[in-house]
Every structure is written in structure tokens, then in C-alpha cells.
Amino acid sequence: MIKTPFLKSFPTTQKKLVNGNSEERVFYGEIPEGGTGFLGVLSSNDYDGIIWSWYIDDECVEDNIQHALGDMKKPDILNPPYVVKKYVEVKAKNMLQLPVILEVYCDGICYKQEEKATPMMIPVTPTMVLQEIRDEMRSKNPAGETTDELITVTDVVQDVYDEAQHGLQWTVCDVVNRGASNVYIAVNEWKQPVAPLAPGELQNIDLGKRASIKRIYLKCDAGETTQVGLHAMK
């Protein structure tokens, strides 16, 4: 068997700005053709007024629940893990009046069968899978310390950096454009992207490894300014 990290099929974290009084898909991840996934972790943030539903393949696992799917800071490990052959999907109904940022964390292991049989194949047990999930989580899960910043961005490239720590040392970061102009975002090395982040939009930065975000660069078009909110976790 060729083992590939679940991360390649299921992004570790997906986030979405969900408008008030609406239902939207917050998370969706597919298993590659010919593979089988073992979903070991599922969690979400929690607000009063948010109703969650989640699905594996063509079956609804939980429908219209009014609590988080798990603790975002210390995600629970599903024991035994759920077997996934097609996809995992998480939807949320926002019963609040205001838009909120909803987050889903999904992790596990994905196996893909080799075309040629392996004579000495070791059987895969749920215990083995759970241990691999734990090992994977230790290397990439945030340490828990959070940072919130509101930055004014102009047409001059702004370098967000922490000299004292030799870099930001962030694991994940939400970038929200709270102003009226487009903003360009680059991570660790400045190269102006083709597509900017429009006013009101959110971008989640997750490089899949703890403390991998060292710098964030921000810039507007000539003569423009905007306000950018950064919510990061180490």
C-alpha cells in the first residue's frame, strides 16, 4: 500500500464567511479515486445560532446539531475512525443576523492500493491508523496561542514580521479585508499575486506545518488603502 497524508485529499482546515440567515457548505474534501480514507478528527468552532450537519459519502452522520463538532483547540480523535470512500462534507445554517467566520478542521489518513500486489502487506488496524493520526497532528497542529491585528495597508508593500522571534512563527492565519480596496497577499516571500483579496473577503493561510508562516506581505493598488484584519494561531 502507498500511504499518502489525508491532507492531500482533505485540507486540514477550511474556513468560510457565512452570511446571516443562510445555509452554506463550509467544508468539502474528496478521496482520490481508488483510495480509502480513515477520518480520525473532525471539529468546528461554535456559536449560539449555528446549526451543523455533516456527511460521509452519501450518508448524513449528524443532522441539524446545535453544538460544535469538536473542540478546535484540542480536537477529539474519533475512535474508531470513520471509513470514507468518496467525500466528507460539512454544512452550517447561520441563524444569526450577522455574517460569521465558520471553521472546520478535518484530518486522518488516506490509503491508495498499489497496482501491483505487495506479497508481505501488513494489515492495517484502526489502532495503527489512530497512532499515525496522532503523530501527524503533533507535527502540524497549532500550539494554541492566538494573535489579532488590524493593519492599514497602502500601495507600499508592508512586511508583517516579528524581529524578536525571528519571524511570526504562525501555524495558521485568517486574513480579512475589512476596507474598501483590493489587497494583495504573499506569504514568506514577496511576489504580487495575480488575484487580490476583495473587500469583505477572507483568505485562510495554512501551510500544513507548525510555525511555517514567517512573514506576511500586504499591498494595495496604486493610490489605494484598506484595513486588513489578521487572526493567527501559533
Question: What domain count does the chain have?
Answer: 2
Q: Does 105 share its domain with 182?
A: no
The pTM score is 0.55
Domain end marker among 77, 107, 140: 140
Contact 21, 93 (CB under 8 A): no
Domain range for 179 is 146-233
**pLDDT tens for residues 111-150?**
776 544 444 444 445 555 556 666 665 555 555 678 889 9
**pLDDT tens for residues 211-233?**
889 999 999 999 999 999 998 88
Q: Does 66 share its domain with 47?
A: yes
Q: Does 112 share its domain with 34?
A: yes
**pLDDT tens for residues 142-180?**
556 788 899 999 999 999 999 888 899 898 888 999 999
Assigned C-alpha cell, 65? 446539531
Q: Does 173 share its domain with 193?
A: yes
Q: Does 125 share its domain with 27?
A: yes
Assigned C-alpha cell, 20? 446571516
The sheet that has 50-56: what strands, in order across it?
22-30, 87-94, 50-56, 59-65
Q: Does 121 share its domain with 151?
A: no
Q: Does 29 share its domain with 136?
A: yes
Q: Does 165 share its domain with 105?
A: no
The alpha helices in the chain, defined as continuous H runs, are 126-140
Domain end marker among 81, 107, 140: 140
Q: Does 24 share its domain with 125?
A: yes
Q: Does 150 share its domain with 136?
A: no
Angle at the Cα of 74 from the Cα atoms of 175 and 93, rounded to 5 degrees = 60
Q: Does 132 share its domain with 168?
A: no
